[in-house]
Amino acid sequence: MNYGVYQNVRDAAWRCLLDAGITELPVSVTKIARHFDVNIIKNSVHDWLKPSQSGISFQAEDGTWVVVYDDSDSIGRKRFTIAHELGHILLGHPLREGERHTRVFNKDRPEVEKEADMFAARILSPACVLWALDLHTPEEIAERCQISYTAAQARADRMALLYSRQMFLTSPIERQVFQAFKPWIEQQKSRPE
Ligand SMILES: [Zn+2]
């Protein structure tokens, strides 16, 4: 499979959601992984992670992408870990030779870690969808997006800024994402409280 299909983090998350056919919350990270032929493996199967790691991704000899995640983490954390690793893969972050004849991402690059986190937050909690559902608090965002409270808090801060500036649907790609989610959003709005 090719990697680095997306270059720009800002548009990458939207493109990823569109390409993988994601139309509702919580966003299915396994559906995205399947779309891009990425194998998702629980760490409890092989115990490949070092104690300090919550997830890794690498390219096997045959070119297959593999993500290993710590399945003992909370659901919100597990989802963020997988989304973060998908970010490294889809943003085409630089690789170096690793163990077991694989290539792994260079961990000495704080900016790529930041990019992968941004990508993860944006695919798991797309701003235009939160806006359409009028979600503001970390509690609401954590529940609807199935992310950790910490991740939801950061997203809520970002959303507060976007709400104050009414910065939604300004990009054509974001408008496409909104259209893809629209039937599901309408369903949510007509649901009795
Ligand atoms: Zn990373």
Residue 151 CA to ligand 1 centre (angstroms) = 15
**Dihedral sign, CA of 130, 132, 136, 140?**
negative
- pLDDT per residue over 73-110, tens digit each? 999 999 999 999 999 999 988 777 665 445 555 566 68
Residue 177 CA to ligand 1 centre (angstroms) = 25
Residue in the block written with tokens 């801060």: 157
Residue in the block written with tokens 């993988």: 20
Q: Please provide the average confidence, as pLDDT, over all residues in the chain.
A: 90
Which has the closest alpha carbon to 193: 129, 134, 146?
134
Average pLDDT rounded to a whole number, residues 150-173: 95
Residue 165 CA to ligand 1 centre (angstroms) = 31
Residue 113 CA to ligand 1 centre (angstroms) = 5
pTM exceeds 0.95 for this model: no
39-56 as b/e, with b when 16 or more CB fall inside 10 Å? Answer: ebeebeeeeeeeeeebbb
Q: What is the pLDDT of residue 149?
A: 97
Which has the closest alpha carbon to 14: 149, 155, 118?
118
Residue 133 CA to ligand 1 centre (angstroms) = 30
* Better-predicted residue by pLDDT, 145 or 1: 145
Residue 23 CA to ligand 1 centre (angstroms) = 26
Residue 188 CA to ligand 1 centre (angstroms) = 33
Residue 114 has pLDDT above 50, yes or no: yes
Do the beta carbons of residue 5 and residue 101 sit within 8 Å? no
Residue 136 CA to ligand 1 centre (angstroms) = 27
The fraction of the chain above a pLDDT of 70, given in percent, is 89
Which segment of 16-20, 46-50, 81-85, 128-132 scores lowest on mean pLDDT?
A: 46-50
Do the beta carbons of residue 144 and residue 25 sit within 8 Å? yes
Q: What is the pLDDT of residue 104?
A: 56
